[in-house]
Amino acid sequence: MRPLFFFLHDRATSTLSGAADMVRGVPEIALRKHRMAPLTTSEIQKAYARALTLQNAGNLEGALQIYGSIIETNPKVAEVHFQVGRIYTLTDRFARAMQHLKAATSLRVSESAVWYAWSEAIALGGSAADEKEFLRLLKGAPVAVETRIALQERFGARRASSKPATGGAKTQEIRLLLGLIEARRFADAERQAARIVKKNPGSALALNIMATAQANQKKFAQAELNYRKAIQIDPKYAEAHDHLGRLYLDNKREEKAAEHFRRAVALAPGLPTALVSLGSLMTRAGKAQDALLLLNRAVATGPDVPACHIALGNAYNRLRDYQPAEKAFQRAVDLTGGKAANAIALLAQAQARSGKDAIAMENFDIALSLDPDNPAGVGGKASLLQTLGRFDEAEVLFRRGFELDPNNGENYRSFIASHKTRPGDPVIAMMLERYNDPELPKTDRMNIGFAIAKALEDVKEYDRVFRYLDEANALMREISPYNIVQRFQQVRLTKEAFDNFDWHGARIEGTTDFAPIFVTGMPRSGTTLIEQIIASHSLVTGAGEVGEAAGAAHTLAMPNGQPLAVGLIPPEDIAAMGHDFATYIRARFPDTPQITDKSIQSYMSLGLLKLAMPKSRFIIVRRDPRDNLLSIYKNKFPDDTHLYAYDQRDLAQYYGTFVEMIDFWRARVPDWFHEVQYEELVANPEVESRKLIAACGLEWEDACLNFHENKRKIETLSVYQARQPISKGSVKGWKRYEKELSPMLEALKEAGHVAD
């Protein structure tokens, strides 16, 4: 592209229609409380240079902040949109990348560089509609002929394969090599390929085949060298990138693998093997939503093979969307004739997570009968036993899982959640050894870091805890960036939707008589304990974190992400929401009069849920924020949930928004909910439990005091604590970490949430 100063003042009309509107629609990079003063041309040039320096040094977020200030004062600087788009592509924020690159293209319609960058963002994170729009605009763009042909082929004839440089190698020679590979005669293939490469040193294709033959003989260093030579000769050789990525993946070098899988998909957005491999790595890295687009593309256009469906099922599992996960795994099982232990074990995992425990346990046993050492079967059955409170049986399998899959950080973290570590327990040394391995993937290091911190706290080595806890939280923050401003906006818009309404005077006709008990509050505040007490009543079943009602209420009040005043929501829609939730719950729990729904976010839409289900009850759990937030900081939550949890100051500010929402409802409907203070409950269990049960509209039963004997399934982070008698052990636990918690404690004091 031309240097920045060439187009700072260029206001030529773009040949692409709608360019001005499109530029105005670019998403904000940084949300500012106050608008900046416009930058002069000289200031823009200097700011751009600073941002580019930060970008080249790897400080991408710092660069984005500066680029954002430029766009704010002048949204028509193409080079800035180009660089922002590149950063967003690199960090898997594809929707934003595509908007900025489209902006850059509209401003510099003849620049090949921006068209290529835009095409890569679409290849990695775009839909069929995005491709269609891209090709439509490209068709009329004044770009070089070779650029247009190459990009059209990327989404057409060459979308699933490259056309690599042969370097003069004859077709019959290449066919011979491929036949040797197919026959698994790898040594012969390597020798023949070496002869061809000697005659035709520019044959990227022959080098790729030779490297594949070497990789299959475990000659990894030679294979890596030759894959790299092939890519050097032909940088657009997607299959060579794909194969090199597989080599790195087989050698546990996931970051390097992802780099080449990304390049392969960018070059050939329909290459099935690269799509599946990259999608799988994205799922492991906590980016399952992005992975779904790639994996669905692979399933739709590639061969119908088990690997595609397994990868797709894993992504749905990560997103806790278990019905399509079960469907995908079932397809993989069918394709393997019911003889593949791994596919059956993964199917069992999805079934267990959707509450089908009996069939899940049966399938775990089938998988382990086919392969007693299958990691998914061993770890999956251990987790199911753990949620059922069968901790001793689970421990045997967890420890076996450590031997079979020693780098799987999630197994360690899951195990430690229900294990009281003792001094000298070999699991501590085992985790430390894995943690210190420089090749350990970030996601596994993060999980093991949380597990080590909990184990060290168990053995009272408090001075060592925060070294691992801070590092684990920092890794989570890196994997899943979060801006607390998003939460401030969510609360502001929610209050806007629910303000200025006569809640007590409103009457909705035709509502359900369904009477769920919503247990809500901050995570780690004691909500699982409260649910366990209530669910120990003979008339109540604990449904866990259902989420359906809270999600439906949010959708009603926030259509398209914008607040809709509750008085404008059609009454029949409100009534239907209650009936839909009742139908959903009765299908899952047909034999219980009442259920608890421990969806943490229910307090956000408390009033709307009460209108839809007038007989519902709400229990809000409160806890000393210092203990509450420390407990949050010590844990890793399911992917894409509670992303504020990994920064101490964000935690304190998020707590402030929770208090803000509870105060909002207390000012309007104080009689619609009952508050439980955790510290009062543990100090006076029977007195507070009786108040709680009465607030639920139930008659007292002594079983509610023996809640720890309840054998129901528990799938939250409190899987172990909720099965123990009430203890005061965690009260004022924050005091032993006052120094380490200073950012959080100072923020709480500044906001007036704590006095001392």
* Chain length of the chain: 756
430, 362, 445, 444: which is closest to 400 by C-alpha? 430
Helix (H, G, I), strand (E, B) or coil at 518: strand
Q: What is the band of 37 on the pLDDT scale with cuts at 50, 70, 90?
A: low
Q: For residues 71 and 148, state if they share a domain.
A: yes
**Chain segment 140-192, per-residue pLDDT in tens:** 999 999 999 999 999 998 899 999 999 999 999 999 999 999 999 999 999 99
Within a domain: residue 710?
A: yes
Per-residue pLDDT, averaged over 433-444, amounts to 91
**Who contacts 679 (Cβ-Cβ below 8 Å, separation ≥6)?**
623, 624, 731
Per-residue pLDDT, averaged over 734-750, amounts to 95
Q: What is the band of 725 on the pLDDT scale with cuts at 50, 70, 90?
A: low
Q: How far is Cα 12 from Cα 23, in angstroms, rounded to an integer?
A: 14
Within a domain: residue 237?
A: yes
Q: For residues 630 and 736, state if they share a domain.
A: yes
Q: What is the band of 600 on the pLDDT scale with cuts at 50, 70, 90?
A: confident
Examine the pLDDT at 694 and tell me if it is beyond 60. yes
Examine the pLDDT at 25 and tell me if it is beyond 60. no
What is the CA angle 649-653-655, rounded to 5?
115
Q: How far is Cα 368 from Cα 341, in angstroms, rounded to an integer?
A: 7
Average pLDDT, the chain: 90
Per-residue pLDDT, averaged over 272-293, amounts to 92
What is the count of structural domains for the chain?
A: 4
Give the other-Cβ count within 10 Å of 255's Cβ: 12
**Who contacts 334 (Cβ-Cβ below 8 Å, separation ≥6)?**
none
Residue ending a domain, among 439, 462, 481, is: 481
Asked whether the beta carbons of 71 and 81 are under 8 A apart, the reply is: yes
Q: How far is Cα 35 from Cα 37, in angstroms, rounded to an integer?
A: 7
Within a domain: residue 189?
A: yes
Q: For residues 46 and 59, state if they share a domain.
A: yes
Within a domain: residue 8?
A: yes
Q: What pLDDT is attached to residue 320?
A: 84
Q: For residues 501 and 613, state if they share a domain.
A: yes
Judged on CB neighbours under 10 Å (0-12, 13-18, 19+), 491 is middle
Q: How far is Cα 369 from Cα 340, in angstroms, rounded to an integer?
A: 11
Helix (H, G, I), strand (E, B) or coil at 597: strand
Examine the pLDDT at 267 and tell me if it is beyond 80. yes
CA 404 to chain centre: 26
Q: For residues 140 and 204, state if they share a domain.
A: no
Give the other-Cβ count within 10 Å of 724's Cβ: 13
In this predicted model, which residue has the larger pLDDT, 441 or 227? 227
Q: What is the share, in percent, of the chain residues with pLDDT greater than 90?
A: 77
Asked whether the beta carbons of 330 and 347 are under 8 A apart, the reply is: yes
Examine the pLDDT at 716 and tell me if it is beyond 60. no
Per-residue pLDDT, averaged over 33-55, amounts to 80
Please tell me whether the overall predicted TM-score, pTM, comes out greater than 0.75 for this model: no
**Chain segment 58-104, per-residue pLDDT in tens:** 999 899 999 999 998 899 999 999 999 999 999 899 999 999 999 99
Judged on CB neighbours under 10 Å (0-12, 13-18, 19+), 225 is middle
Examine the pLDDT at 715 and tell me if it is beyond 80. no
Asked whether the beta carbons of 566 and 606 are under 8 A apart, the reply is: no
Examine the pLDDT at 26 and tell me if it is beyond 70. no
Q: For residues 432 and 500, state if they share a domain.
A: no
Asked whether the beta carbons of 36 and 70 are under 8 A apart, the reply is: no
Indicate which CATH number applies to the domain containing 135.
1.25.40.10
Task: Quote the tokens at residue 710.
Answer: 């309840």
Asked whether the beta carbons of 165 and 171 are under 8 A apart, the reply is: no
Q: What pLDDT is attached to residue 35?
A: 46
Highest mean pLDDT among 32-36, 37-41, 500-504, 701-705: 500-504
Least confident of 57-61, 426-430, 730-734: 730-734
Residue ending a domain, among 126, 154, 182, is: 154
Enclosing domain of residue 471: 420-481
Give the other-Cβ count within 10 Å of 40's Cβ: 10
Asked whether the beta carbons of 41 and 6 are under 8 A apart, the reply is: no
Indicate which CATH number applies to the domain containing 679.
3.40.50.300
Q: For residues 459 and 591, state if they share a domain.
A: no
Long-range CB pairs of 440-444 (<8 Å, 24+ gap) are 440/407, 440/409, 441/252, 441/254, 441/255, 441/284, 441/407, 442/255, 442/285, 442/475, 442/478, 442/479, 443/284, 443/285, 443/286, 443/409, 443/475, 443/479, 444/407, 444/408, 444/409, 444/410
CA 586 to chain centre: 30
Within a domain: residue 570?
A: yes
Q: What is the share, in percent, of the chain residues with pLDDT greater than 70?
A: 92
* Cα atoms in the 13 Å half-sphere on the side-chain side of 488: 10
Q: What is the band of 561 on the pLDDT scale with cuts at 50, 70, 90?
A: confident
In this predicted model, which residue has the larger pLDDT, 102 or 20? 102
Within a domain: residue 238?
A: yes
In this predicted model, which residue has the larger pLDDT, 36 or 373? 373
Examine the pLDDT at 736 and tell me if it is beyond 80. yes
**Chain segment 610-664, per-residue pLDDT in tens:** 999 999 999 999 999 999 999 999 999 887 789 999 999 999 999 999 999 999 9
Q: For residues 199 and 79, state if they share a domain.
A: no
What sign does the dihedral 416-422-425-430 (CA atoms) show? positive
Within a domain: residue 50?
A: yes
Q: For residues 225 and 90, state if they share a domain.
A: no
Within a domain: residue 461?
A: yes
Q: For residues 626 and 673, state if they share a domain.
A: yes
Q: For residues 590 and 734, state if they share a domain.
A: yes
Q: For residues 633 and 545, state if they share a domain.
A: yes
